[in-house]
Amino acid sequence: MTAYDAATPAHDAPGTAQGAATPVYDAVVLAGGAAKRLGGADKPGLSVGGRRLLDRVLTACVGAATTVVVGGRRPTARPVVWTREEPAGGGPLAALGAGVRHTSADRVAVLSADLPFLAADTVRDLLDALERTGGEGALCTDADGRDQPLVAVYRAEPLRRELALLATEHGSLAGLPLRLLVRELDLTRVTTDPLASFDCDTWEDLAAARARIRDHGGVLDEWITAVKNELGIELDVDTGVLLDLARDAAHGVARPAAPLTTFLVGYAAAKAGGEGKDVADAARKAAALANRWAAEAESEAGDGPKNDAG
């Protein structure tokens, strides 16, 4: 008997890529494996950008009605259902079979737990492709055109059917390769973000992932996402507005004014209701004040005090 904890299911969160039009789906995240090329390290628990690999994947499938993690228990950023394959270490097909038992939606996202760059947009692209084509599943292909069956969405009925047939034919799912499942299903191949299927199988992969998120072009987005997850904030914020505000406060008032002003904007937005529009409104008011402050200082420096009487 497989033991599991039925935690509170995670539903669509405001501001995430999973919106009202997204079909209902469950997610199975495979977080087992021996991680032999990592010397047996706890791969899902390794961090990229200060966030565990497992938590990064759980963020990408936050829209799932139920999320099942197959693997050893560990702290997670949001509630999940835990289960293990039998026997332990039976491989990804056995783990998938164990996870699917605890799902009920008509569509199941199947994801490995070592995907540092997987995003909610990729999961939605897969769901959209499944709906558009009417097939039995949709999976990502990597930059070399190889199928990635652990970055995929499947229809539950044919997935369960093929898993049952394979278990009957071979006596068990333990040790069977995923390709036995893939070749039996009518699948749509989806070309999406080439980094979506980048996985961390080696220490070199982990180092490359950590270096990539610090690239100038994406480091701020990565940092803001990490902070929001750390603080439990589900809020879409226009970071450009806040950066412009910080710049105006630093240049127009004084450099220390930048972090203090953005803190006060956040506090004001929280008091106003805590929505994205509240942040934008507070930032607009503070930026206007900073600009008035700067204009006044420039006027004083350029022409000296003005007499109101002219």
- pLDDT tens by residue, 242-275: 888 888 888 888 888 888 888 888 888 888 888 8
Angle at which helices 219-231 and 53-60 pack, to 10 degrees? 90
Residue 19 clears pLDDT 50, i.e. is over it: no
The three-state (H, E, C) secondary structure of the chain, written as one string: CCCCCCCCCCCCCCCCCCCCCCCCCEEEEECCCCCHHHCCCCHHHCEECCEEHHHHHHHHCCCCCCEEEECCCCCCCCCCEEECCCCCCCCHHHHHHHHHCCCCCCEEEEEECCCCCCCHHHHHHHHHHHHHHCCCEEEEECCCCCEEEEEEEEEHHHHHHHHHHHHHHHCCCCCCCCHHHHCCCCEEEECCCCCCCCCCCCHHHHHHHHHHCCCCCCHHHHHHHHHHHHHCCCCCCCHHHHHHHHHHHHHHCCCCHHHHHHHHHHHHHHHHCCCHHHHHHHHHHHHHHHHHHHHHHHHHHHHCCCCCCC
Confidence label for 14 from pLDDT (cuts 50, 70 and 90): very low
Cβ atoms of 285 and 241 closer than 8 Å: no
Of 13, 131, 167, residue with least CA distance to 78? 13
Query: What pLDDT, on a 0 to 100 scale, did the predictor assign at position 303?
Result: 57
| Contact (CB, 8 A) for 261 and 249 | yes
- Look up residue 267 and give its two tokens: 């506090």
Angle between helices 257-272 and 239-252 (to 10 degrees): 130
For the cut 80, the answer to whether the pLDDT of residue 36 exceeds it is no
pLDDT at position 50: 84
Cα distance between residue 61 and residue 112, in whole Å:
11
**What pLDDT digit, counting tens, does each position of 113-127 carry?**
999 999 999 999 999
Both structure tokens of 84: 């293990």
pLDDT (tens digit per residue) in 282-305: 888 888 888 877 776 776 666 554
Q: What is the pLDDT of residues 171-200, one digit of tens each?
A: 999 999 999 999 999 999 998 888 898 888
Q: Are 78 and 8 in contact (CB under 8 A)?
A: no
Confidence of residue 64 (pLDDT cuts 50, 70, 90): very high
- The pLDDT value given to residue 300: 66
pLDDT digits (tens, 9 = 90+) for 155-164: 999 999 999 9
Weakest mean pLDDT among 11-15, 30-34, 102-106, 235-239: 11-15
* Of 142 and 81, more confident: 81
**Cα atoms in the 13 Å half-sphere on the side-chain side of 47:** 5
Q: Are 126 and 60 in contact (CB under 8 A)?
A: no
